[in-house]
Structure 1
Amino acid sequence: MSITINLYYIGRDGQAQQFVQAMEESGIADAIRQEPGNERYEYFQPLDRPDTVLLIDQWSDQQALDAHHASAMMEQLAQLRERFDLHMQVQRFTELPDETADAQFIRS
């Protein structure tokens, strides 16, 4: 059962976007994408919230997520969040085992 976490990084004066740039340029984001159990690590910008960046962070299971949280990269990530003075809002979702339940509502 996959776990998806939506992290909203909220800053001022472009700080959230600068954080994402630092994550990508430093290689931290790519390293996280390579961790066992990582299924998605992708940034987006909400159109109605210019000082916010959304990270969709998906893991295969809780064990993979726990290993990620225990990794050395988390300290680097925390330092960058502090450097750019970001605040966060978090949503957590678990994937339903039967993905066909909503198939009639999805246009491919």
Structure 2
Amino acid sequence: MSITVNIYYHGADGSARRFAEEMTASGAVDAIRAEQGNLRYEYFVPLAGGETVLLIDSWEGQQALDAHHASPMMSTIAALREKHDVRMTVERYVTDEAHDAAADRAFVRE
């Protein structure tokens, strides 16, 4: 089972984008990607997002996510959130191990 968390950062006057840029430039993103169990940590700017930045954050399972949340990196992230005055909304998804992914391939153009 893997866990994906979509975090939507909201701010004003470009603050969400500056937050994501500083996370990347400071090396925090690379450090998180190197954490055991991280599958994906990537920022996106929605086409119609205005002042929103989307983070797709995926982990091998709850244990890996819990270890990340307990790591010193969370202090870095919290400080940058505060610095850039961003707020968040969060969606959490867990893989459906019983689902036949092959059934979805009929709808995917590769």
Range of TM-score over shorter length:
over 0.9
Cα separation, 1, equivalents of 2:24 and 2:57: 15
Q: Aligned letter for 1:101?
A: A
How much identity, in percent, do the aligned residues show?
56
Provide the secondary structure at the position in 2 that maps to 1:68: helix
Q: Displacement of 1:101 after TM fit?
A: 3.4
Q: Aligned letter for 1:39?
A: L
Match of 1:46 in 2: 46
Note the alpha carbon deviations across 1:60-83, whole angstroms, 9 max, x for none: 000000000000000110010011
Match of 2:102 in 1: 100
Q: Aligned letter for 2:105?
A: A
Match of 1:83 in 2: 83
Provide the secondary structure at the position in 2 that maps to 1:49: coil
Structure 2 unpaired stretches of 5+ = none
Q: Which moved more, 1:42-51 or 1:58-67?
A: 42-51
Q: Aligned letter for 1:95?
A: T
Note the alpha carbon deviations across 1:12-60, whole angstroms, 9 max, x for none: 0000111011101111111000000000000000111121000000000
Q: Aligned letter for 1:31?
A: A
Provide the secondary structure at the position in 1 that maps to 2:42: strand
TM-score between the two structures when normalised by the length of structure 2: 0.94
Q: Displacement of 1:103 after TM fit?
A: 1.9
Structure 1 unpaired stretches of 5+ = none
TM-score between the two structures when normalised by the length of structure 1: 0.95
